[in-house]
Homo-oligomer: A and B are copies of this chain.
Amino acid sequence: MTDRRSFWGWGVEGGGPTDDQAAGIAATLAQRFGRDLTLADPPRIEDVKLPPSDVAVPDALQHMCCTEPWDRAGHTYGKAYRDVIRALRNDFSAAPAVVAFPETEDDVVALLDWSAGSGRAAVPYGGGSSVVGGVECPGAVSIDLTRLDRVLEVDPVSRAARIQVGALGPVLEEQLRPHGYTLRHFPQSFEFSTLGGWLATRSGGHYATVYTHIDDMVESMRVVTPSGVSESRRLPGSGAGPSPDRMFLGSEGILGVITEAWMRVQDRPRWRASAGVRFGSYLDGVAATRAVSQAALFPTNCRLLDSAEAVISAGVQDVEGALLVLGFESADHPVDGWMARAVELCQDHGGTIPEGVRTSGPEDESEGASREGAVGAWRNAFVRAPYTRDALARMAVIADTFETSCTWDAFESFHGAVTATVEDALREICGDGWVTCRFTHVYPDGPAPYFSIIAPGRRGSELEMWDEVKAAASEAVLAHGGTITHHHAVGRDHRPWYDRQRPEPFAAALVAAKRELDPAGVLNPGVLIDPLP
């Protein structure tokens, strides 16, 4: 394992399972699916054929632009299943013409000026972890923002920090740690995604409730648009017109390039309580989770796993109905009272806690402690899941996730219908496969269910098979009241369903805003809306 980012798959080179481990996974799945699974070799950069880079970079920008194969190949795709499959096939036909590495906001301005002036598409690129085709644009200038990675200011009174958008999760946290702070935003992609990517896609953090969405942590933002720089005022709250920040949050790079933001940070947690609550029936688990989410207790973790998810993502084998991973934490006070009430609510719905509640106080506080035990194991498995997905892709296994949200009243029929539809699709398209579900976030009015699928594919047909399964899943999500994405964004891949979900007048307004801010239509064309004519 090196520090160099993989040009074709998740994370760093060699960061996934070893070949032996991958072979073990293949053997297990082969048995489960009753068919042979062989492990394709990862692509080698020297075998990659890139389209010629047909671009004349102005002299003034040469120093930050690069056309090396590794960089162009590495910036061709995000990290969706279909991206990895195409990379495994040595298909990098969608490569950008050039990768730019701005080091200042002025560099970004200069790049957009060039892009708008020449009509060449420009794609803001953070960690490249998009799973929705958010950074894929053949022949574009890929603007890699990871050199803009500094925490520029820390305000310890307001507990806020001014942070450049290119900071990857660990880079940002490392700079906040000496001040005693954390942004406390831990999406699964944490290691390989940036603040800017989180902002542009309305990322959801690891935590279950309250301040976990990146939207709610923004105090102000700077955005370079082709028509000028937008800077909002640092404000804890405001009612002065529609929120300017909310227009750029979720705009996925089509309106401008976010360059920095004042973010609300938090004291590092010192007290913790966690428990694994078991339910004999899945719907009892759902009812308990709903009760907890509506009690204004604001747990940090409230992740309901179905029995298959309990095995896969928590390593717990004997769950009959559901396992609720429940947690509270605080930088200010012990959280036993909060946990006690949540446990009561779970018990009211038939929940049991065979292993009891686990608590830790300030004396246990250390980086190490919080990474140990079951929670630590779960977290490690969680952040390593995308590596495993790549190994599965190498076996021609169809492995993907889709995530959504719906209201509590709709959930039972939603879950039933979506699961049945996708299971049917897997049987029909793949001959086998399974669907699991967990909640990533819970709101007083509904959960955010996250589905994972694994099914045997046929080498050479993975994309077509994936497309069919994805379409079936997306249709079911939309038909039964969900959103096409809760925190993975729209990109290019979710467009057909997004187009049916968002109100038409809003789409028209968004196009109008785009025309105003990016009249040449160069910014990430095809994402969210059609390219401007």
- Chain A positions within 8 Å of B, measured between CB atoms, are 155, 157-160, 201-204, 210-211, 213, 219, 223, 225, 227-244, 246-252, 255-256, 264, 266-267, 290, 294-298, 330-333, 337, 341, 345, 405-410, 441, 443-448, 481-490, 494, 498, 501-506, 508-513, 515-517, 528
Contacts and interface: CB of A to CB of B under 8 A. Distances in A.
Contacts of A504: 228, 230
27 contacts: A155-B409, A158-B410, A201-B239, A211-B444, A219-B407, A227-B505, A228-B504, A230-B504, A230-B506, A232-B503, A233-B481, A234-B481, A235-B405, A235-B406, A236-B445, A240-B489, A240-B501, A241-B490, A241-B502, A241-B528, A244-B502, A244-B506, A294-B332, A332-B341, A508-B516, A509-B517, A510-B513
Contact of A512 (B409, B503, B516): B516
Assembly stoichiometry (copies): 2
Contacts of A159: 294, 408, 444-445
Given A227-B505, A227-B508, A409-B158, A236 B443 contact: yes
A499 B350 CA distance: 57
Contacts of A488: 239
A286 B513 CA distance: 41
Contacts of A515: 512
A155 B410 CA distance: 10
Contacts of A517: 505, 508-509
B210 A443 contact: no
Given A241-B498, A513-B513, 6 more contacts: A158-B407, A160-B445, A240-B484, A241-B490, A296-B332, A512-B516
Given A242-B248, A244-B506, A512-B512, A405 B237 contact: yes
A97 to B, nearest CB: 27
- Most chain B beta carbons < 10 A, residue from A213, A332, A443, A506: A506
A339 B370 CA distance: 28
A490 B239 CA distance: 8
A448 B345 CA distance: 35
A179 to B, nearest CB: 14
Which 5 A-B pairs rank lowest in CB-CB distance, beginning with the nearest? Answer: A236-B446, A236-B443, A509-B513, A157-B409, A230-B503
A485 B239 contact: yes
A60 to B, nearest CB: 24
A241 B251 CA distance: 6
Contacts of A231: 503
Nearest to A294: B159
A483 B232 CA distance: 11
Contact of A236 (B243, B332, B407, B508): B407
A225 B505 contact: yes
A498 B239 CA distance: 11
Given A237-B405, A407-B160, A505-B229, A250 B255 contact: no
Contacts of A445: 158-160, 219, 236, 264
A337 B330 CA distance: 14
A229 to B, nearest CB: 7
B230 A489 contact: no
Contacts of A406: 235-236
A374 to B, nearest CB: 24
A498 B244 CA distance: 12
Nearest to A202: B239
Contacts of A487: 239
A424 B230 CA distance: 34
A272 to B, nearest CB: 13
A494 B239 CA distance: 12
Contacts of A407: 155, 157-158, 160, 219, 234-236
Nearest to A287: B157
A510 B490 CA distance: 23
A483 B516 contact: no
B249 A158 contact: no
Given A332-B341, A515-B512, A158 B240 contact: no
A202 B246 CA distance: 13
A502 to B, nearest CB: 6
A442 B267 CA distance: 17
